């Protein structure tokens, strides 16, 4: 474990850049769509508040932890408006990134049941890095003379397109168009450079009625970023009696997952997911897998009541 921390410290201070840093990953992406696609904003037809917590590689000291909060609602006939916050923590506070975004969408009916939405989001990234929090930090290896970064804000914007009916959805998005370089080059030292590159997402799913009380929904999320392997997630979820959801997921060459969800009421949903790595990291004794908890609350109007539970 000390060797792992020492390796992290050396990477941070000896000029090894993260030239293709990816956005946070989610197993319950089918419920967390607004985080990756602003065109989803307002598509549920009511005020929706959703929160997610992910603890990755539990047991590995300093492993990533992510929290998201999405609030969105339709505004007027075709507009949607929302707020998205994503917080990433790595190394017990060594590196903390928080994204704040305001998202808006415009929806065009394409048929009796089909709707096509265009989304745009504006916001930015707030970065804090404190190398002194590393247990194996070696100041003598720090050629930059910097102990970290404090409240470094970078503006960004993103866009997406999202089509859905009552059974099918398909979306394409790029949440952050601008590449961000967090450390400046120095004339006197070879500084570390953290660069976030464009992440592109493709998301889709379809709901089948297997019986009057059972629905089946396969779904997929594909994430593409230059300089990193293609990430492909596929999942299969069953909904029983509009209440209980049970499913499984597979992340290509990375992890197997189990998912459970429960619609406590028409307004409140709880979801849980567990990932087990199928890589060499998953076989280590200090990695107990990754966990996610998802909560969603929706405000129904007096004139609008749900006929059936929405499965996406």
pLDDT digits (tens, 9 = 90+) for 172-219: 999 998 876 555 544 544 455 456 678 999 999 999 999 999 999 999
Q: Which two tokens stand for residue 135?
A: 């247990």
Q: Are 218 and 190 in contact (CB under 8 A)?
A: no
Radius of gyration of the CA atoms of the chain, in A = 21
Question: Per DSSP, what are the bridge partners of residue 280?
Answer: none
**CA atoms of 95 and 241, how far apart (whole Å):** 44
Q: Which CATH class is domain 2-299?
A: mainly beta
Could you tell me the pTM of the whole model? 0.84
Residues in the chain: 312
In eight-state DSSP terms, residue 23 is P
Compute the Cα dihedral for 139, 141, 143, 147 and give only its sign: negative
Q: 198 by DSSP, 3-state: which?
A: coil
- Domain residue spans of the chain: 2-299
Residue whose C-alpha is closest to residue 117's, from 156, 71, 81, 83 = 81
* Residue-wise burial string across 10-29, b where 16 or more C-beta atoms lie within 10 A, e elsewhere: bebbeeeebeebbbbbbbbb
Q: 270 by DSSP, 3-state: which?
A: strand
Residue whose C-alpha is closest to residue 158's, from 246, 219, 99 = 99
Low-confidence ranges of the chain (pLDDT < 50): 1-21, 185-186, 188-190, 193
Q: What is the pLDDT of residue 307?
A: 53
**CA atoms of 176 and 66, how far apart (whole Å):** 18
**CA atoms of 244 and 173, how far apart (whole Å):** 30
């Amino acid at each position: 474990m000390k060797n792992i921390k020492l390796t992290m410290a050396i990477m941070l201070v000896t000029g090894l850049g993260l030239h293709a840093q990816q956005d946070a990953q989610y197993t319950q992406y089918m419920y967390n769509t607004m985080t990756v696609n602003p065109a989803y904003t307002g598509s549920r037809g009511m005020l929706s508040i959703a929160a997610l917590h992910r603890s990755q590689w539990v047991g590995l000291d300093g492993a990533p932890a992510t929290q998201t909060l999405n609030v969105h609602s339709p505004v007027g006939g075709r507009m949607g408006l929302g707020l998205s916050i994503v917080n990433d923590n790595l190394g017990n506070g060594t590196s903390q990134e928080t994204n704040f975004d305001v998202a808006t969408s415009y929806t065009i009916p394409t048929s009796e049941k089909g709707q096509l939405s265009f989304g745009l989001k504006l916001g930015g990234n707030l970065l804090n890095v404190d190398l002194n929090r590393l247990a194996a930090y070696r100041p003598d290896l720090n050629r930059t003379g910097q102990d970290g970064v404090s409240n470094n804000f970078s503006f960004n914007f993103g866009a997406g397109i999202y089509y859905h009916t009552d059974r099918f959805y398909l979306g394409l998005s790029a949440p952050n168009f601008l590449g961000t370089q967090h450390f400046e080059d120095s004339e006197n030292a070879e500084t570390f450079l953290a660069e976030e590159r464009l992440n592109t997402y493709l998301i889709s799913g379809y709901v089948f009625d297997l019986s009057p009380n059972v629905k089946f929904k396969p779904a997929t999320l594909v994430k593409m970023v230059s300089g990193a392997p293609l990430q492909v997630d596929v999942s299969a979820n069953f909904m029983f009696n509009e209440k209980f959801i049970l499913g499984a997921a597979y992340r290509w060459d990375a992890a197997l997952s189990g998912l459970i969800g429960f619609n406590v009421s028409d307004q409140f949903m709880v979801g849980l997911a567990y990932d087990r790595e199928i890589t060499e990291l998953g076989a280590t004794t200090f990695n107990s897998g990754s966990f996610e908890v998802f909560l969603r609350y929706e405000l129904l109007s007096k004139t609008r009541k749900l006929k059936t539970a929405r499965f996406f």
